[in-house]
Structure 1
Amino acid sequence: MTAKWIDISQPLNERIAHWPGDTPFSYDLSFTKKETRSVNIGRITTSLHTGTHIDAPFHFESSAQTILDLDLSIFIGKARVIDVSHFRKIGAEQLQAFPLDKAERLLLKTLPISKPDTFPEEVIQLDPDLGPLLKEKNICLIGVDVPSVDALDSKEMAVHHSFHQHHIHILENIILDHVPPGDYELIALPLPIEGADGSPVRAVLRPLADPLGKEDVHVNP
């Protein structure tokens, strides 16, 4: 039996939290079936950094890659989920306690419970020294269950820049409440938005099978 896909995306609706001062998410019908006599046609308005999304390097570096410049293979493949919710700060020293070899992509569970409808007052502190460590471990993507890998009031964006300098891409606002630590297959494809600094994604995980073909023990109940 094939393991089921686990949705780790924040649902997009008018209750979802957005960055203060940024464009909130909205969905409405531009035209109803009654009006067109054939179909309903909807439209959305949103910031590209509301909900579960990818940051393109162009988001924090004007001469860097936009979403369409990025290799799609970054967002498909093996990912390791680890629980770091007992830490207040995560740097290279803290991550040394976790097995990271052959992780390829790393998803950090920093919250005991995600609250997509509430914008946090603060997020777990990540240290820029994670960049060199993750590069050493051949990790190409880091995912977090908060709106940013940097402090919410950061202007320097030191962690973003460290990850970019070490070729590590960023996935933000995932939900890992219901995902036990372990190895999974990740799909988190961005939309092909020309010139974009980021993109919403539908991020999903599937537990990896062991060498005998059995499902991994970390299956979502």
Structure 2
Amino acid sequence: MTNWIDISQPLTNEIAHWPEDTPFSYQLTYTKQQTGSVNIGQILTSVHTGTHVDAPFHFDDQGEKILDLDVSIYIGRAKVIDVSSVNVINRDVLNGFHLNGVERLLLRTSLSSSPNQFPKSIPILDPDVAPYLAAIGIRLLGVNMPSVDPLDSKELPTHHALHQNGIYILENVILDAIKEGDYFLSALPLALEESDGSPVRAVIRKIEEEK
């Protein structure tokens, strides 16, 4: 039996959301009693609530939208590393890890996962990581934070730096109990044609379990 680990924030009516953004809600539109056969639910949400991916259109009017993206970016081998000992994650910090051959990198920062509470601050991810990661072949960067930029940032320098270096973004994964190492990741976005982001069901399994 394959031991998949769910690293997604469950989408509940209590999940935290970006201030001023649309809260998540689920409710039944029709009950089985009403229809005679089935329950039918509806959801209302921002596409940046919970575990999600950013399309470049999120921060660049000329950027790709979700349906334009190559889904292979979000499925394949990934490495989890622990950078929780620092509050500023920069090139020098990442240079301390063996990342050669890594295409998808997941950072376990010092931020504890509290899906029902939006953080007041998050660790800093320096834009200088982008050209470094691109040079060693990384295509996807995942973080256990709601953003790769400071929560009050309007310029979004790290979003732009990653995009300019061909690196895509996965946010709000839950990594508190995940050990460092190599995993298989699946975090596929929904096929949302005009969207700037998408919720994902992110799951991983240890590479050794495939042998």
User: SS of the counterpart of 1:34?
Assistant: helix
Residues 135-193 of structure 1: CA deviation (Å, up to 9, x unaligned): 01100000000100000000100000000000000000000012100000000000001
Counterpart amino acid of residue 204 in structure 1: V
Contact 1:9 1:175 in 2 (8 A): yes
Q: Distance in 2 between matches of 1:82 and 1:104?
A: 13
Counterpart amino acid of residue 208 in structure 1: I
2:148 corresponds to which residue? 149
Q: Return the offset for 1:90.
A: 0.4
Contact 2:141 2:167 in 1 (8 A): yes
Q: Which moved more, 1:201-210 or 1:185-194?
A: 201-210
1:31 corresponds to which residue? 30
Contact 1:108 1:145 in 2 (8 A): yes
1:166 corresponds to which residue? 165
Q: How many residue pairs end up in the alignment?
A: 211
1:219 corresponds to which residue? none
Identity over aligned pairs, percent: 57
> Aligned in 2, Cα 1:52/1:74: closer, same or farther, shift over 3 Å?
same
2:177 corresponds to which residue? 178
Q: Which runs of 5+ in 1 are unaligned?
A: 214-221
Q: Distance in 2 between matches of 1:25 and 1:47?
A: 7
2:6 corresponds to which residue? 7
Runs of 4+ in 1 over 6 A off after TM superposition: none
Q: Distance in 1 between matches of 2:203 and 2:89?
A: 24
User: SS of the counterpart of 2:159?
Assistant: helix
Contact 2:143 2:170 in 1 (8 A): yes
Q: With structure 1 as the length reference, what TM-score do the two structures score?
A: 0.93
Q: Distance in 2 between matches of 1:55 and 1:135?
A: 18
RMSD: 1.2
Q: Distance in 2 between matches of 1:210 and 1:202?
A: 20
1:88 corresponds to which residue? 87
Q: With structure 2 as the length reference, what TM-score do the two structures score?
A: 0.98
Q: Which runs of 5+ in 2 are unaligned?
A: none
